[in-house]
Structure 1
């Protein structure tokens, strides 16, 4: 006698809900996916901007031009590279449901918030700087909300990596 297969469309009448009794729940975690996507996306943007800035300063220096006034730009580019890499690593760890992912992403978000606050104080006030700072802070608030969400914490607690369907 063969045992019938039960899936979401063909539910055993004795089960309380679809998928009951089939082992760990593999339902998609949209909140965890959004946080992983934001972390990876902002990380890629940060690494790209940092790399392009370092490349531009290097090209300027190799062309024989004076780069003595580019110190703050180089510091900003290197910090952008490091924070971008930190966000990418956090996104990969979150995707794999590793416990350290929230610490890595939270530290990157905190450092980015400090960077945005420093930029507000130190940069000259232009339309682009104000819009950039407002959008940065909105994105950081959204990421902070997602970090503290129950869905993300449950994803980490279960330890089941995310899957695309």
Structure 2
């Protein structure tokens, strides 16, 4: 077997080909970014509620806010874990990210119904829904499906 024959073998080509796929990189970045924002919001809200309670402030009406903080934290963790799983080409990555996106969409839609309408709430909801649409589009892309089917983790060069 010559060196040229060795390079033409399909198994060796896939071993060397760790080219980052744009859709996979985009989905991993969006999922991780949105997840980190969710974790940060949940953690900051929890700290604020703890400080209010610790300072002797009345926190009896803050139950829904605490539930929202916990939800943001959990969905954020789910999206970050999904992004890592996608990077590592784990087959369950699409399911984990999909569940995170579904929960985030449900949260955004419920916020539209419950919250008072202000400019910032409308802008936030529209941006959230745009990010969710982008994540959903990338989640069902052929590039992501092929990446997970091949099972080769991404590498940065």
- Does TM-score exceed 0.5, indicating one fold? yes
What is the TM-score with the length of structure 2 in the denominator?
0.92
Contiguous gaps of at least 5 residues in structure 1: 5-11
Deviation at 1:72, TM superposition (A): 1.1
Deviation beyond 6 Å, 4+ runs, structure 1: none
Q: Would the aligned equivalents of 2:35 and 2:80 in 1 still touch at CA under 8 Å?
A: yes
Separation in structure 2 between the aligned mates of residue 162 and residue 86 of structure 1, nearest angstrom: 20
Q: How does 1:109-128 map to 2 (within 5 A)?
A: 109-128=101-120
Displacement after TM superposition at 1:114 (Å):
0.5
Task: Determine which structure has the larger helix proportion and give its number.
Answer: 2
Pairing of 1:31-70 with structure 2 (within 5 A): 31-70=23-62
Partner residue in 2 for 1:141: 133
Residue 9 of structure 1 aligns with which residue? none
Aligned to 1:94: 86
2:146 to 131, 150, 154: 154
Work out which of the residue numbers 10, 13, 17 in structure 2 matches 1:23. 13
Give the TM-score, by structure 1 length.
Answer: 0.87
Is contact 2:38-2:75 (8 Å) kept? yes
Query: Residue 128 and residue 156 in structure 1: after superposition, are their counterparts in 2 closer, same or farther (change >3 A)?
Result: same
Q: Provide structure 2 residue ranges, at least 5 long, that are not aligned to the other structure.
A: none
Q: CA RMSD in A?
A: 1.7
Q: Which of 1 and 2 has higher RCO (CA within 8 Å, sep 6+)?
A: 2
Take 1:154 and 1:108, find their aligned partners in 2: how far apart are those partners? Answer: 21
Residue 72, structure 1, aligned to residue 64, structure 2: yes
